[in-house]
Amino acid sequence: MTGRRPLVLHPERLFPADRSTRAVALELHQVVASLPLLSPHGHTEARWFADDAALSDPTSVLVTPDHYLTRMLYSQGVALEALGVEPNDGVATADPRTAWRTFAAHYGLFRATPSGLWFDHVLAEVFGVRDRLDGESADDVYDHIADALRRPEFLPRAFLDRFDIELLATTESPLDDLDAHGRLAREGWAGRVITTFRPDPVVDPGATGFTENVERLGQLTGEDTAKWTGYLGALRNRRQFFIGHGAVATDHGHPSAVTADLAPEQCQRLLDGARAGTLTAQQQELFRGQLLVEMARMSIDDGLVMQLHAGSRRNHNPLVFQRFGPDRGADIPGPIEYTQSLKPLLDLYGNDSRLRLIVFTLDEATFSRELAPLAGHYPCLVLGPPWWFLDSYEAMLRYRRTVTETAGFANTAGFNDDTRALFSIPARHDVARRADCSYLAELVVTHRLELDDAHDLAVDLATGLVRHAYRLGPAR
């Protein structure tokens, strides 16, 4: 294919192929298309909004940090260095423009993928690019975006305003000083860009630098973190600090959903072993499992909503991990079990509606077999939206089809964009809203749902369920 090809987002994209269902989906979408965006879980950086400075070049903003993109090119033989990802062995990386050309020349790899849908949306809607991206248009598109990034309307705060992003949560370690959030609060942004308490670095004995992290946790809080009670006191203390900086939730990225309810002496022994680095893999799992129960107990006291993101086999490719570190697209989902794993936690707090535990999975089989039945029964449980590899049009439809008959809509948490790619946030919500409206339209045309109820549900799925699940309070 040669010559410029226009980039056009079809207004009816992602709606059902069948004409009558499509008409209902369109009607529902009109109700939700302009509702504000709520982003209660994600990985953008607070300092972007605190500094509110121009983001750098198109490649560093849109390509290099996006592991959804880099993994696909890597799978097709493109070196990560060629996309600007820096290795730790001093091998030179491509400059931004060269990396962009490489990306553009391979852009066809993303046909019919979520990344392709999102990226086209970013180009067309956010940056006003009029040509489809390919090797030929690469330089012009690069210049267009580079120019835009220097303009005030592309500064991070202006971007939140322009796309009506009402709430954006970042995710920080308990060891973070939350300086950026402090600055945001002083400038009137409290409650709009908020933090999330992610304790993995101090509760996962397998985390890099765990022993030093626990030591540091003690220094920050004045607690003796070598003692089980001091260690818990320190965690409680940091949760309060995070609440003071706007946190409404915690987030736990565990390999499994294992929970445990052990005696204090056993907890102390595990903590000793974790600090000494002597725990077996199974003991590490038990330790993390005990911490989930401790976090649930603390949540009942301080009201933070718990999120459990379980099942990612992180850094599956040792070579990539050694050279480039984590979050480079080498994380792979694995099978996961919830019903037995969560039982110790549910036996203690499953019936307590002061606890809200939002559970995510990368293992779709568990939606129908375990998660929808669990969330359709236990008052504390809510189902998170399709996550990561499942954050796609097809998986969203499968999710609704799989869980709705058992868990209804009210036991689901609405959408999370869960992204580190700031400019893709509107695109991700757009796909989710279109998928949800398509599903509701199917229910309407098969007379399983009345049209007026579908209107209400469309709003719930877009914003209402998120407000409820994360205890955000009513709309502005």
Q: In terms of CB distance, is 141 or 292 closer to Zn ion?
A: 292
Task: Report long-range pairs for 9-16 (Cβ below 8 Å, ≥24 apart).
Answer: 9/120, 9/121, 9/124, 9/125, 13/117, 13/434, 14/117, 14/393, 14/431, 14/434, 14/435, 14/438, 15/434, 15/437, 15/438, 15/441, 16/438, 16/441, 16/442
CB of 354: closest distance to Zn ion in angstroms? Answer: 24
CB of 418: closest distance to Zn ion in angstroms? Answer: 4
Here's the x/- map for Zn ion, 261-300, by CB under 5 A: it reads as ----------------------------------------
Q: In terms of CB distance, is 144 or 309 closer to Zn ion?
A: 309
| Sequence letter at residue 56 | S
Stretch that binds Zn ion, among 20-28, 155-163, 298-306, 410-418 (CB under 5 A): 410-418
Q: In terms of CB distance, is 315 or 339 closer to Zn ion?
A: 315
**C-alpha span between 169 and 416 (Å, rounded):** 10
**C-alpha span between 114 and 122 (Å, rounded):** 12
Question: With contact defined as beta carbons under 8 Å apart, do 32 and 437 qualify?
Answer: yes
Q: In terms of CB distance, is 349 or 470 closer to Zn ion?
A: 470
Residues 6+ apart with CB under 8 A from 95: 84
Name the closest residue to Zn ion (Cβ): 418
Stretch that binds Zn ion, among 107-115, 215-223, 416-424, 446-454 (CB under 5 A): 416-424
Q: In terms of CB distance, is 285 or 418 closer to Zn ion?
A: 418
**C-alpha span between 395 and 25 (Å, rounded):** 18
Q: In terms of CB distance, is 166 or 418 closer to Zn ion?
A: 418
Instruction: State both tokens at 81.
Output: 């260095």
Question: Residue from 204, 223, 418, 436 that binds Zn ion (CB under 5 A)?
Answer: 418
- Residue 331 lies near Zn ion (rule: CB under 5 A): no
Stretch that binds Zn ion, among 285-293, 328-336, 392-400, 412-420 (CB under 5 A): 412-420
**C-alpha span between 393 and 396 (Å, rounded):** 5
Residue that has been written with the tokens 């400075």 in this structure: 53
3-state secondary structure of 168: strand
Q: Tell me the site size for Zn ion, rule CB under 5 A.
A: 1
CB of 181: closest distance to Zn ion in angstroms? Answer: 17
List residues binding Zn ion (CB under 5 A).
418
